[in-house]
Amino acid sequence: MIRFIGVVIVLLGYLIFFIPVLIFEWILGKFKPKTRDYHSLRLVQGVFKLMLKITGVDLVVIGEELVPDEPVLFIGNHRSFFDILITYSRCKNLTGYVAKKEMENIPLLSTWMKRLYCLFLDRSNPKEGLKTILKAIEYVKNGISICIFPEGTRNTGDELSILPFKDGSLKIAEKTGCAIVPMSLNNTAEIFENHFPAIRKTRVILEYGTPIYPKELDAETRKHLGAHCQEVIQNTILKNATLLANKKEL
Is the confidence at residue 9, as pLDDT, over 80? yes
SS (H, E, C) the chain: CHHHHHHHHHHHHHHHHCHHHHHHHHHHHHHCHHHHHHHHHHHHHHHHHHHHHHHCCEEEEECHHHCCCCCEEEEECCCCCHHHHHHHCCCCCCEEEEEEHHHHHCCCHHHHHHHCCCEEECCCCHHHHHHHHHHHHHHHHCCCEEEECCCCCCCCCCCCCCCCCCHHHHHHHHHHCCEEEEEEEECHHHCCHHHCCCCCCCEEEEEECCCECHHHCCHHHHHCHHHHHHHHHHHHHHHHHHHHHCHHHC
**What confidence tier does 127 reach under pLDDT thresholds 50, 70, 90?**
confident
Q: Do the beta carbons of residue 183 and residue 74 sit within 8 Å? A: yes
170-182 mean pLDDT: 96
108-126 mean pLDDT: 90
What is the pTM for the complete model shown? 0.93
| CA–CA separation, 211 and 8 (whole Å) | 35
**What confidence tier does 157 reach under pLDDT thresholds 50, 70, 90?**
confident
| Domain residue spans of the chain | 58-249
Is the confidence at residue 250, as pLDDT, over 60? no
204-228 mean pLDDT: 94
Which of 3.90.180.10, 3.40.1130.10, 3.40.640.10, 3.90.1150.10 would CATH assign to domain 58-249?
3.40.1130.10
Give the full edge-to-edge strand order of the sheet including 203-208: 58-62, 203-208, 179-186, 72-76, 145-148, 95-100, 119-121
**What confidence tier does 41 reach under pLDDT thresholds 50, 70, 90?**
very high
